[in-house]
Structure 1
Amino acid sequence: MSPETKLKVAKLSDLTIGQLAAKYEKLFGEKCRSRNRRYVHRRIAWKLQADDEGGLSEQAILRATVVAGESLIRLTPPKSRKSKKDESKVPEKWDSRLPSPGNLIERQYKGQTLHVLVLTEGFEYDGEHYKSLTAVARAITGTHCSGFYFFKLGQAK
């Protein structure tokens, strides 16, 4: 890169975003749609370097055009798919600290990984049905313990 181009690129750091946008519009001949200073700065620096050194070769431009023509370009984002988890109905008075019914709660305890299935009416652990998470924690530990505290649910991380 020539010393003149290096000086031009260095001077870009002193410009405001408005001045960078104006320079972008002048160099590229199109409206600057971004207000991200770093992005606009990099695009202008690239253009100055490309103009100084000749830019891409004809062969590279031709190859890029062919590749772009073969690629599938999506103009709109895909429609969101509803998963089975979304389809399960959550009761009206559902505790927000709990995952929706059908999900598993996992916890490491004394070297074992515990899995508790969340049901619409209670919980299932080790093949048995429990009315509350506290009852599950009591069955595991043998002492009274808050189920939410034991499974670390609803706590600030």
Structure 2
Amino acid sequence: MIEVADELARLETLSPVELRETWVKLCGEPVPNVSPKLLRLALGWEVQARCLGGPSRETVRTLDQLARGATKTAPASAGMRLVREWQGRLHVVTIGEDRVIRWDEREWKSLSEVARAITGTRWSGPAFFGLKKKVAA
């Protein structure tokens, strides 16, 4: 954590030219056409994301969905029961208080794994169980 704080403090001392050089070294992309102040903030975010792990997969997915405005996925929360009929058979998946997914007397890593086991094909688990909805235009 000290390294992150040191790097953030160092960003405050860099000139606009040094900020641009740092951006290219850190991100490997062309420098965005923004003010030095905004570039400093963006670099600060990059430094923290790289050192502390960045946003979670769920956060990235949610932000992507919001940006596209196409779908919205409700999170599977503890205590939830998801019911889906498939080819005449009723399938009940429970999300335990420990957030473990259970179906067919087994524990699963994801809803997509369960959907794949039920259908035999690749499915989005949230879509299969009705958690992913199209956003009205």
The structure with the larger Rg is: 1
TM-score band, normalised by shorter chain: 0.3 to 0.5
Which is bigger in relative contact order (C-alpha 8 A, separation at least 6)? 2
- Tell me the TM-score normalised to structure 1 length: 0.41
Whose strand proportion is higher, 1 or 2? Answer: 2
> TM-score, length-normalised on structure 2?
0.47
